[in-house]
Amino acid sequence: MSWLKPVVTAEPTTYRVVIMPGAVKVELVGVGSMSIPGTNRMEEGWFNSVDDLPQWAQERLSMLMMCVTDKGRDKRNDVPGIGRIISSDIFWIYA
């Protein structure tokens, strides 16, 4: 019997975006391989606004934000290939 070996990629495939109240600060953090030292991740960190995020993140985030209702999330919650709405100010985006 052969065992499957876990595949670890250098880039996380999911990023968490947290928009602080008033959009004063925005955090972009890779999820998944972020605990592996020496990984080469896409741009991440703190940004002054959503407009300062990398272009790929802005595009995915804008599509998710269109799905947010006044209650905080869309009924579907997940948009395939784009990301996931956690709340009105927390999103997961797929790279």
* Dist. CA 61–CA 17, nearest whole Å: 8
Convert 14-31 to b/e letters by CB count within 10 Å (16 or more is b): bbbbebeeeeeebebebe
Query: Domains of the chain: which residue ranges?
Result: 14-94
Q: Where does the pLDDT of residue 91 fall: very low under 50, low under 70, confident under 90, or very high at 90 and above?
A: very high
Rounded percentage of the chain residues whose pLDDT exceeds 90: 14
Q: Kindly report, residue by residue over 6-22, the tens digit of the pLDDT.
A: 545 455 578 999 998 76
